[in-house]
Amino acid sequence: VKAEVTLRRASHHRRAAQLWNDHLGRVDRALWHWQQAWKLEPQRTEALEAARQLYVSLGDEAMVAKLYQAELEVLGNHKDSTGRRSMVRFELGKLALRAKDLESAANHLEEAAKLDPSASDIAEKLAEVYASPGFRGGQTRHKAGELFVELGRQRIKTRDDATGINYLRRAVGIDPYSKGSSEALQEALQESSQWQELDRALRHRSAVVTDPGERAAVLRRRAALYRNQLPDHAGLVEVLSELVAYEQPGSKASRELRELLRDDQDWEAMSRLMEAEINALAQNPETPAEEIVAEILELATVAREHMGDRDRAAELLHQALGVDPMHEEALARYVDHFRERRDWRGLIELYEFALDNAREAASPPDELVRRLEEIAQLAELRLGDIDRSLEAWNRIAALEPNSPKVAEAMRRLTARSKMWQQLVASLEHELATANDPIQRISILKKMAQTYRERQIDPRRAIELYEQVLTENPGDDATLKALAELYEREGDDAGLATALRRTLDLEELRVVEAMQRAGKPKDAPKEWPVAKRSERLTLLRRLAQLYETRLADVDGVVYASSAVLELLSGDRDALERMERVLEKAGDPRLEQTLEYHAAASGSPAERAKLLKRLAKLASAREDDVAALDRWEQTIKASPSDPDALAALSHLYEKFQRWPELAQVIERMDGGRPLPAPGTTEAAMRGLELERYATVVDTHLQDGPRAIKAWHRLLELTPRNRTALEALVRLYRTATKWRELADVLGAQIASFSQLVAPDDRELACAAAMERAEILEERLGAPAEAIKVLDHLIRDLNPNHLDAHTALRRLHEARGDFDAAVRIAEREMYLSPEPVRKIARGLEIGMICRDRLNNPTRALQAFKRVLELEPEQDEALAATAELLARLGRWKEYVAMLERSLQTLPGRDSPEAADYAEARRTVVQRIAAATADKLADPKGAFRWWRRAHDEAPDDQTLADVRRAAEAYGLWRELAEVLTDERKRLVAIGSAGVPAEPARYVGLSRELADLAHRRLADKPRAFAVFAEALAVAPRDGSLLAELDRVAAEIDVRATWKSLLDAYEVALLAAAPAERVDLYLRRAKLLDERVNDPKAAVNDVLAAFSWAPDRDDTREILVSLSSKARTWNDVVAVDSALIDRAPTSA
């Protein structure tokens, strides 16, 4: 039986909970009933679930967690409850995660995963916890990555590739260094043909991996991708350039990279690649020398043929011979290098080097003889060095003693040497004996010509020509011969000096001719046509010599400047000078480029030069000059991307916002927007955001800013900066519909809860949107939807949203919904003041709008539970109790209300007396009419009178007493009222004498007629007479009552009353009073003598009255006071008139 009762009680609790929640909106009562139902039937968890759902809707996650814990305790460890326990643990983990309790969340989720290892949602949430920054010292990040990888693979198996790849992305993002995560993502992307993202993944992996083997494998995959699925020539070159560092020289990647660089004609990169491979080959002792030399020779070919760097090629040939001194091709090419430079001495030294190596290599004598013959011929024919040639033939003779060729060469060279010595001696003698400078110059020229023509000791010939020029600088033939000698000797510096002397001499002659013609010094030089052409040729030759052979920057500047004097804007001269100055880092480069730009007639060329000038200015951090040159560049080439990018940076730095906006507009050019989510979209988004910021913040151009921010939103619909800016702009422009739409997008963005304060921002946006929809757009229904979403999905505890939603429901007349919202708000409010306000509103709506006094009464009672002295709730509760006919409670509530008012002992009692009286009157009326308790009612009426006495309250008391026959109680009231009047009076005189007298009459009459207390009536009349002694009616009442009492003591009291009246009476009134008292003394007190005294007193006040003597005579017989009669008569005689 007890079990049945328990089940029935639990069922009733469940029904009551549903009624409270679904129909009355009392969340607190519903929760209580659900909890009671669960306590009665713990095995039935639907009550717990319902309570949890209510707490979830209220945002009370702490209670939700407690209820889940309670369910876990009920479930225990039974095998059949495994699934349910897993779910409960999962929910507890999510709650702990939202509460930022990561350790607790991990513990619950780990238990859930043990109970249900196949649950993907549990694994995902556990991975999020493991991936949280700082959790367990970061030791669980690899576990998070493994979980996400497993989730991704499971999804991919079910053909949900998009979700699976997202999981794999998260795995890589959490643990970028994990090889397994990266490979799983790469495999998934490849299978789904997402090549662009695969490229990004491979790039990321190659950036973080440290193992050389793994890095090489990643680079190979990238290379394959660029060859096939994503053809990208530049990307392939970049990847192969990295890959060759991890492979052996000459690998397939290296060969492929060489072919690509050769196709691109990127000889610099190819040169670096080959140098690196040569160094790597040289470090390996097992590398054959032939292979190294072959690589060096190929690099030398690149340097010579494609890069134009013959000196570098020569260095490489020298390096090749260092590796293999006997290498024929290297030797032959090195020989060709010296022959091209006409460096015969260097060539002889090279042959000597080859000869030594051949001797060490035990080459056959024929080979040695051949090399010695080449040395001998070069010394004889090119250098004119007979001694060195003889020395070479002597060494040949040592190898071939019987060679006729050797003998002939020795005879010829010996004879020539002797003849030459004789000739030189003769010329030297002539020179020594010459006294005339002209003769001396002639002999020097003859000697030099002899040396030059016979090719004997060319250096001596050069010295002689130099002496000639020292004495005669203007000798054209000597200059020409000297230049030829320098050129033959391979002396580039001497040749350049000779050519420059020639040019300077010609210039001097032109200047002198112009001076003779009377031309000004600064006039342009007038070159004859033939001389002009010859001079240009010579200058170009000199410029090339300075650049390629001597690396003389000043020389190139000199020659090129001279060319530009003859041929303004000559491109070859300008480019050569720019090339040399740039290579040398010479500051004159800018001046040259400026001149070139000014002289250029092609906009493209001019733009190119201006760009170089701008970059130079930027390099030296001269932003003003850079800005000017970039502006000139953009005029020459309006769409140049480098110029636009640089100007955007500089305009921003100098805060030239209008120009910056124009530049950014030109950079964008109205191009179609890329696909969202791509790298291009991200870069374009930054550009659009920058433009919008400039137009909005700095130019404050609202319409343009709105368009710019909207364009950014087309590309990135949830860009928070754009949404925030549009909200501000539309708010300023009072465009309410657009503002509401943007706020909607902002709410959706913040609802993702990416940042810690996103929830608060989403709530604020929702509140503003609801306000706009209601007040500005007249759309309360939409505003209600917004607020419902806020409370349901964003923050169930948002009290301001509850307030606004309740107000909207009230405005629409949906008072039941308004009450439900107010009930939630009252439950959620942490401040008692707010709870009280909501409770009052609930009560008023239920009372006034829903006409539901019972529900209203409950609301007001809850208010009183929070604040027992809340006057408004007390009043409303009392009113509702009266409407419901619950009079005892009504009276009790009025009594509580009365207790809240300051009592009569309080300093402010006077201010609240009227209010207290009103409440007491209501209590009295209800006690009398509804509770049928007349005595109780009279007490309340009396109290009402005590609170604020006046005629009305007294009338109420009187009426109640008359209605219920409560005369004694009425007498007490009247007595108290009289006492009050005396108390508030002064010197024993009541404050309101007339009222006091009236109350006394009423009290005396009540005591006489209703209470049969005549002595009290007499005493009350006497007291009244003391207050109004001239009121004859009071004395008459005293006479009447005394007669009824007819007791000697009463008569004596009446005599005292007459005394009071006499003291206050007027002279005319005293006569009657004395006579009346005399009668009382005679008839009632039996004191005729005293009576006679009063009659005499009356006679003294009115001697003309006839009845006074008669009364005196009648009394004198009793008192035997005839003398008094005689005295009266004598007085009357004296007063009688006499006859004339």
Cβ atoms of 366 and 353 within 8 Å: the answer is: no
At residue 454, the 3 state secondary structure works out as coil
Residues 979 and 1028 in one domain: yes
If phi over 0 gives left and psi between -120 and 50 gives alpha, with beta otherwise, what is residue 327?
A: beta
Q: Identify whether residues 1000 and 1113 lie together within a single domain.
A: yes
What's the token pair of residue 420? 């030459």
Q: What is the pLDDT of residue 428?
A: 67
DSSP string spanning 176-196?
TT-HHHHHHHHHHHHHTT-HH
Mean pLDDT, to the nearest integer, of 738-755? 87
Task: Give the domain range for residue 582.
Answer: 512-599
Percent of the chain with pLDDT over 90: 9
1046 with 1121, same domain?
yes
CA distance 487 to 504: 19
955 and 974 together in one domain: no
CA 962 from chain center: how many Å? 81
- Residue 459 forms part of a structural domain: no
Cα 240 to its chain centre, rounded Å, is 42
**Structure-token pair, residue 535:** 């001079």
pLDDT one-digit tens code per residue, 464-507: 777 777 777 888 888 888 788 777 777 788 888 888 888 888 88
Relative orientation angle of helices 161-174 and 179-191, to the nearest 10 degrees: 150
The answer to whether residue 746 is domain-embedded is no
pLDDT, position 23? 66
Q: Evaluate whether residue 1021 is within a structural domain.
A: yes
- Position 1117 pLDDT exceeds 90: no
- Flag whether 933 is in a domain: yes
Helix (H, G, I), strand (E, B) or coil at 986: strand
Please indicate, yes or no, whether residues 1013 and 1100 belong to a single structural domain of this protein. yes
Chosen domain end from 546, 570, 599: 599
**640 is a domain residue:** no
Query: Which H helix or E strand runs over 1011?
Result: none
- Looking at residue 161, its pLDDT comes to 77
CB 728 within 8 A of CB 721: no
Q: Is residue 261 part of a domain?
A: no
8 Å CB contact between 66 and 95: no
The reply to whether 945 and 990 lie within a common domain is no
The count of domains in the chain is 3
pLDDT band, residue 728 (cuts 50/70/90): very high
Place of tokens 């959790």: 135
Q: Six-digit token pair at 716? A: 């990135």
pLDDT for 1140 beyond 50:
no
Closest CA to 1022 of 979, 1074, 992, 1061: 1061
Per the CB < 8 A criterion, the answer to whether 842 and 819 are in contact is yes
Whether 975 and 946 share a structural domain: no
Flag whether pLDDT at 773 surpasses 90.
yes
Domain identity same for 1077 and 971: yes
- Tokens encoding 1085: 């007190």
Distance CA 565, CA 595 (A): 12
Domain boundary among 583, 599, 615: 599
Residue 887 lies in a domain: no
CA 959/CA 58 separation, integer angstroms: 57
Tell which residue, 1004, 996, 993, has the closest CA to residue 1036.
1004
pLDDT at 603 over 60: yes
Reduced DSSP (H G I as helix, E B as strand, rest coil) percent helix, strand, coil of the chain, to 5:
80, 0, 20
Side-chain-side CA neighbours of 291 within 13 Å: the count stands at 14
Q: Count how many residues are written for the chain.
A: 1140
985: left (phi over 0), alpha (psi -120 to 50) or beta: beta
Phi, psi dihedrals of residue 256, rounded to the nearest 5°? -65, -40
For residues 983 and 959, state if they share a domain.
Answer: no
Summarised one tens digit per residue, pLDDT across range 936-994 is: 888 888 788 777 777 788 788 888 888 878 888 878 888 888 888 888 888 778 888 88
Task: Identify the burial level of 18 via C-beta atoms within 10 angstroms of its C-beta, where 0-12 means exposed, 13-18 middle and 19 or more buried.
Answer: middle
Q: Is residue 584 part of a domain?
A: yes
Rounded to two decimals, what is the model's pTM? 0.64
Task: Record the tokens describing residue 1099, joined without a space.
Answer: 């006679």
Q: What is the pLDDT of residues 319-336, one digit of tens each?
A: 888 888 888 888 888 888
CATH of the domain at 1111: 1.25.40.10
- 1015 with 1076, same domain: the answer is yes
CB-CB contact of 1119 with 1082 (8 Å): no
Is the pLDDT higher at 1019 or at 73? 1019
User: Among 101, 16, 26, 119, which Cα is nearest to 65's?
Assistant: 101
Three-state secondary structure call for residue 989: strand
Contact status, residue 160 vs residue 184, Cβ threshold 8 Å: no
Residue 867, CB-side half-sphere exposure with 13 Å CA sphere? 18
Confidence band for 61, pLDDT divided at 50, 70 and 90: confident
Does residue 988 sit in the same domain as residue 1050?
yes
Kindly give the interhelix angle for 476-489 and 492-516, rounded to the nearest 10 degrees.
Answer: 160
1038 strand-pairing partners: none
Long-range contacts of 952-957 (CB under 8 A, 24+ apart): 953/917, 953/921, 956/921, 956/924
pLDDT of residue 1025: 84
Cβ pair 941, 960 in contact under 8 A: yes
Using the 3D structure, point to which of 919, 947, 963 is the last residue of a domain: 963
- CA–CA distance, 1112 with 1125 (Å, rounded to integer): 7
Query: Do 974 and 1059 belong to one domain?
Result: yes
